[in-house]
Amino acid sequence: MNIQLNQLIPIPLKEKILQGSSDIWNNNVVISKGDYLKIVAPSGTGKTTLTHILWKLRTDYTGEVQYDGCNINGINAQVMASFRQQKLSVIFQDLRLFGHLTAIENIELSRIKSATPGVGAHEVLEMAETLGVSHILNQKANTCSYGEQQRVAIIRSLVQPFEILVMDEPFSHLDENNTLKAAGLIEKVCKQNNAGFVLMDLDEDSYFEYTHSLKL
Ligand SMILES: Nc1ncnc2c1ncn2[C@@H]1O[C@H](COP(=O)(O)OP(=O)(O)OP(=O)(O)O)[C@@H](O)[C@H]1O
């Protein structure tokens, strides 16, 4: 799939955007499945706003977002669900795990939501091992540390099929060692899926070989 942004301006940010310059806001941008796109954005410039717009959680903007050439405001709930099941995955900054479910239940909900799961059940266990969260898989998410929850949210995003993965500060609660492991896993699954990603974060980094970097 591809995502096209045409002159996108979130209404609450309009004044700020028109005063400054951004590679994304009020611009034309295409995000394709082969892209490893980094978006560098200081705090408050709209990473979470953009994530929510891309996932169609917010529609308070002018301009247009297209999935594969279709304006997402005209896409019905069934088609939107199908994009979210098959083509687009996300790691929210606030993670959005179901706190009353266990870590593995959160992951499995994502893995089996598509008729063709992205990975097998045994691969989930391997991912958990890689990220050092095997021991908390049967623990309720709201009793896990934030760093553990972040690793569970990363795994949850990788077990469904996807062509583009949207990440909003996905490593904010991980130390360097765990960040490197998580980045390695994300890259491996993206390669398996022939997928790309959009990673929004505060600063430049070298966790991936980005195809390009834009400023929010
Ligand atoms: N619904 C809204 N109504 C009014 N202002 C909003 C709304 N949503 C976001 N904002 C404002 O838009 C700006 C961008 O918010 P956003 O959460 O997207 O930033 P961010 O880049 O993700 O920040 P951080 O790095 O601190 O997480 C902030 O100044 C915020 O107060």
Look at ligand 1, atom 18, and give the residue with the nearest C-alpha. 46
Q: Out of 13, 15, 173, give the residue to mutate to test ligand 1, the one with the largest number of ligand atoms within 8 Å of its CB.
A: 13
The answer to whether residues 38 and 213 touch, using CB atoms and an 8 Å cutoff, is yes
Which atom of ligand 1 is nearest to 202's Cα?
25
The answer to whether residues 119 and 147 touch, using CB atoms and an 8 Å cutoff, is no
Ligand 1 centroid to Cα of residue 16, in Å, is 11
Q: Is the pTM of this model over 0.90?
A: yes
Residues composing the chain:
216
At 114 the pLDDT is 80
Residues 6+ apart with CB under 8 A from 99: 140, 141, 142
At 143 the pLDDT is 98
Ligand 1 centroid to Cα of residue 49, in Å, is 6
The answer to whether residues 92 and 157 touch, using CB atoms and an 8 Å cutoff, is no
Look at ligand 1, atom 30, and give the residue with the nearest C-alpha. 44
The answer to whether residues 168 and 180 touch, using CB atoms and an 8 Å cutoff, is no
ipTM for the assembly: 0.95
Ligand 1 centroid to Cα of residue 45, in Å, is 7
- Which residues form ligand 1's pocket by a CB distance below 6 Å? 12-13, 41, 43-49, 93
Q: Which two tokens stand for residue 69?
A: 């050439």
What is the C-alpha separation between 186 and 118, in angstroms, rounded? 13
Closest-CA residue to 50 (of 87, 17, 81): 17
DSSP letter string, the chain: -EEEEEEEEEGGGHHHHHHS--SSTTSEEEEETT-EEEEE--TTSSHHHHHHHHTTS---EEEEEEETTEEGGG--HHHHHHHHHHTEEEE-TT----TTSBHHHHHHHHHTSSSS-SS-HHHHHHHHHHTT-GGGTTSBGGGS-HHHHHHHHHHHHHSS--SEEEEESTTTT--HHHHHHHHHHHHHHHHHHT-EEEEEESS---SS--SEEEE-
Q: Which residue is it, tokens 């583009």?
A: 164
Residues 6+ apart with CB under 8 A from 144: 103, 136, 152
Domain housing 139: 2-215
Ligand 1 centroid to Cα of residue 5, in Å, is 19
CATH (domain of 80): 3.40.50.300
Look at ligand 1, atom 29, and give the residue with the nearest C-alpha. 44
Number of domains forming the structure of the chain:
1
Which atom of ligand 1 is nearest to 93's Cα?
27
What does each of the 216 residues of the chain score in pLDDT, given as a tens digit? 999 999 999 999 999 999 999 999 999 999 999 899 999 999 989 999 999 999 999 999 999 999 999 999 999 999 999 999 999 999 999 999 999 999 999 999 999 988 888 889 999 999 999 999 999 999 999 999 999 999 999 999 999 999 999 999 999 999 999 999 999 999 999 999 999 999 999 999 999 999 999 999
